[in-house]
Amino acid sequence: MPQTTQTRAIALIRHGDYEQPADVPSALLPYGLTTKGADQARACVALIHAFCRSHQLVVRPVLHCSRQLRAYQTATIIAAGLKDGGAGDIYGGEAGGAAYVVEEFGELAERSVGAMANLTMQAIESIVDADPRYPSLPEGWKSSSDYCLPYQGAESLRQAGTRVAAHICRFWPAIAPRQVQVIVGHGAAIRHAAAKLGILAEADIARLSMHHARPVFITCDNAGGWHQVGGEWKTRQRAGDEFGE
């Protein structure tokens, strides 16, 4: 790992597979994990264990997640697995034997489409077409980093990434030496946060995605530079093949 004041890391995790309606941007959808998604969350525990063993770290007892059900369920399954599997017991320390808990944060949410939440792509485009205030939506708007729907509560993917990056920076000082902070959120918001922090290049945002419930580990060096120190991004089959995640 890069030289840091204390060796510590953050595990960035995209939630597991969930019940997403067809042709609907993921955004703030309220649905939970599928059976496959729950299995992915359970498998994630072993990946966290392996990273902790290889770097002689422990998991911070408070796991962070967004307020979306799919992220909360992923985080709670991981927390239960850490308790049963003893990731905090590998090297003892502050987290050894701890009961892992999950805390939700609104700033870890996926990109909001505001008043267009939970509508299909066709419905969103039809509403905009019928609205005399706005031009038709540009092609590829849902995967554009900087496009924001012209409706109350909407934000761009880059804006979502900026708030996730702010959360990461805000809590970095709270991570004790030899700890890993687990953060469960959403793929596109995390990718844009990684770009904001300088971990990913701008071109990587569209080229890469995240595997469900497979962590990417990052750390910050003494000069304030962020680095990836473990895990793998997913190469997307084609740009725009995901609805915001």
Residue 60, classed as helix, strand or coil, is coil
Per-residue confidence (pLDDT) for residue 2, from 0 to 100: 60
In the chain, the N- to C-terminal Cα span, in Å, equals 28
Higher model confidence: residue 182 or residue 88?
Answer: 182
Band (237; pLDDT cuts 50, 70, 90): confident
In a domain, 176, yes or no: yes
Evaluate if residue 180 carries a pLDDT over 70.
yes
Per-residue confidence (pLDDT) for residue 150, from 0 to 100: 97
143 backbone φψ class: left, alpha, beta (φ>0; ψ -120 to 50): alpha
In a domain, 95, yes or no: yes
Evaluate if residue 162 carries a pLDDT over 50.
yes
Per-residue confidence (pLDDT) for residue 87, from 0 to 100: 46
* CATH number of 219's domain: 3.40.50.1240
What letters, b where the CB count within 10 A reaches 16 and e where it falls short, cover 168-195? beebbeebeebbbbbbbbbbbbbbbbbb
In a domain, 145, yes or no: no
In a domain, 146, yes or no: no
Angle at 62 between CA 58 and CA 63, to 5 degrees: 90
pLDDT for 89-125, tens place per residue? 444 334 445 689 999 999 999 999 999 999 999 999 9
What letters, b where the CB count within 10 A reaches 16 and e where it falls short, cover 142-156? bbbbebbbebeebbb
- Name the residue among 165, 244, 164 with its Cα closest to residue 209: 244
Contacts of 7 (CB under 8 A, 6+ apart): 1, 55, 57, 177, 178, 219
Evaluate if residue 159 carries a pLDDT over 60.
yes
CB-based contact 87:45 (threshold 8 Å): yes
Band (139; pLDDT cuts 50, 70, 90): very high
Give me the chain's average pLDDT, please: 91
In a domain, 52, yes or no: yes
In a domain, 32, yes or no: yes
What letters, b where the CB count within 10 A reaches 16 and e where it falls short, cover 231-245? bebeebeeeeebbbb
Domain count within the chain? 1
Mean pLDDT of 166-192: 97
In a domain, 140, yes or no: no
Contacts of 145 (CB under 8 A, 6+ apart): 156, 157, 158, 192, 205, 206
Domain of 172, in residue numbers: 9-110+156-235
Side chain identity at 154, as an amino acid letter? Answer: A
In DSSP terms, 235 is beta-bridged to 208
* Sign of the alpha-carbon dihedral angle for 215, 221, 223, 228: negative
Per-residue confidence (pLDDT) for residue 53, from 0 to 100: 94
Half-sphere exposure (Cβ direction) of 157: Cα atoms closer than 13 Å: 27
Mean pLDDT of 191-198: 98
Cα→Cα distances 96→42, 62, 129, 164, Å: 20, 13, 57, 28
In a domain, 98, yes or no: yes
Per-residue confidence (pLDDT) for residue 38, from 0 to 100: 98
pTM score, whole prediction: 0.91
Among the listed ranges 48-57, 87-96, 176-185, which one has the minimum average pLDDT value? 87-96
Per-residue confidence (pLDDT) for residue 236, from 0 to 100: 83
